[in-house]
Amino acid sequence: MVALAAALLAAVVLLAHHRRAGVVIATIAVAACAVLGWPMARGYLHDRYAGPTDAKLETLHMDAAYRWASGVSQARIATTSILQYGLYGADLSNRVRYLGVPGPTAR
């Protein structure tokens, strides 16, 4: 993917003095990146939190909390950790707030 983009960029630079050829090649490059990148983006969005935990989460003791939150949905969760993204759950329906810092709607 990167090699294709680099090759097309090089072609655009070489053909820059031919305005129409450059525009056509640039259009093809953008379309190719969109077509080839779409399946990769969908795969990432589908499985973004399903993989194994990494060493940083284990060091911060967040791996157990993330495993717990993956089975919870539509819950309100308070945390003191700066790493909150895994607490939103597998369907991203949990409401996560940092404990002790008033939000914009605090009374």
pLDDT tens, 30-60?
A: 888 788 887 777 776 666 655 555 555 666 6
Taking CA atoms, 96 is separated from 3, 38, 65, in Å, by: 40, 29, 12
pLDDT: is 96 or 85 the higher one? Answer: 96
pLDDT of residue 95: 94
83 pLDDT band, cuts 50/70/90, is: confident
The dihedral sign for the CA sequence 73, 71, 58, 53: negative
Considering only CA atoms, which of 22, 29, 27, 35 is closest in space to residue 8? Answer: 29
Separation CA 85–CA 60 (nearest Å) = 14
The dihedral sign for the CA sequence 56, 59, 64, 65: negative
In the chain, % of residues over pLDDT 70:
60
